[in-house]
């Protein structure tokens, strides 16, 4: 896949097959995080990788899935949970830690995964204190976000945004449709 095709097709997935993510793909995901740009080259991010089924299940329990989809319909069933979960941490002992650095690293990680056909779901609404407790983190490591990874069990497609409807939806097959503005609606040239 060329880069624009990766970016066009990389979407959020919330149901996964139970095929494990191979170690070489995991290494590419982590390498993308390591190589990510960061302000002042601070390198304040740390990562915890969960691959064991029981650890991924516990992290999934500490996650609020797809708040924009009503009635918990975006929460994966146990047999569709991700097979890999990475928790992104910020080392607060490093001056100037930044959510921008997190965003850059997470974008790189999810893009590297998708280049291998591995889908992801960035988790912004996880129970941070319980996650930190589960992981046994020292005080200087702060939970920022989580990323669920696995091979997608559904499709996710970009569609034109109509009538201001920004919420995504699922069809009867469980496939997702994600409305996006057209380029001319969001860009102004001087």
- Strand pairing category for 84-91 and 141-150: antiparallel
Q: Is 40 left (phi over 0), alpha (psi -120 to 50) or beta?
A: left
pTM: 0.92
In a domain, 44, yes or no: yes
In a domain, 49, yes or no: yes
pLDDT in tens, 92-117: 999 887 899 999 999 999 999 999 99
Angle at CA 77, nearest 5°, toward 114 and 112?
Answer: 10
The label of the residue with tokens 């928790």 reads 87
Q: What percent of the chain has pLDDT over 70?
A: 96
In a domain, 184, yes or no: no
| Contact by Cβ (8 Å): 27, 86 | no
| Contact by Cβ (8 Å): 124, 59 | no
Q: Which of 52, 23, 27 has the alpha carbon at shortest distance from 112?
A: 27
Q: Cα(37)–Cα(100) distance, rounded to whole angstroms?
A: 10
Query: Which segments of the chain are extended strands (E)?
Result: 45-50, 84-91, 119-123, 141-150, 156-160, 169-170, 176-180
Instruction: Inform me whether the pLDDT recorded for 70 exceeds 80.
Output: no
Instruction: Inform me whether the pLDDT recorded for 60 exceeds 80.
Output: yes
What is the sign, positive or negative, of the torsion defined by CA atoms of 144, 151, 114, 35? positive
Domain count, the chain: 1
| Contact by Cβ (8 Å): 87, 62 | no
Q: What residues make up the domain containing 36?
A: 3-154
Say whether 43 sits in a helix, a strand or coil: coil
In a domain, 132, yes or no: yes
Q: Note the pLDDT of residue 69.
A: 67
In a domain, 110, yes or no: yes
In a domain, 170, yes or no: no
- Strand pairing category for 176-180 and 156-160: parallel
Q: What is the CATH number of the domain that holds 13?
A: 3.40.109.10
66-70, 99-103, 164-168 — most confident range: 99-103
In a domain, 28, yes or no: yes
In a domain, 79, yes or no: yes
Least confident of 118-127, 149-158, 159-168: 159-168
Q: Note the pLDDT of residue 114.
A: 96
């Amino acid at each position: 896949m060329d880069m624009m095709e990766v970016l066009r097709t990389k979407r959020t997935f919330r149901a996964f097959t139970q095929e494990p993510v191979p170690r070489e793909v995991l290494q590419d995901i982590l390498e993308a995080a390591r190589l990510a740009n960061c302000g002042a080259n601070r390198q304040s991010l740390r990562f915890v990788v969960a691959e064991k089924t029981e650890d991924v299940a516990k992290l999934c329990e500490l996650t609020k899935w797809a708040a924009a989809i009503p009635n918990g319909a975006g929460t994966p069933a146990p047999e569709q949970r991700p097979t890999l979960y990475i928790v992104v941490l910020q080392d607060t002992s490093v001056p100037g830690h930044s959510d921008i650095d997190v965003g850059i690293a997470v974008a790189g990680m999810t893009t590297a995964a998708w280049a291998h056909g591995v889908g992801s779901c960035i988790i912004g609404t996880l129970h941070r204190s319980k996650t930190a407790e589960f992981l046994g983190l020292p005080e200087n490591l702060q939970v920022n976000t989580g990323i669920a990874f696995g091979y997608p069990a559904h499709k996710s497609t970009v569609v034109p945004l109509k009538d201001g409807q920004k919420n995504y939806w699922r069809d009867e097959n469980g496939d997702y449709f994600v409305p996006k503005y057209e380029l001319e609606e969001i860009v102004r040239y001087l």
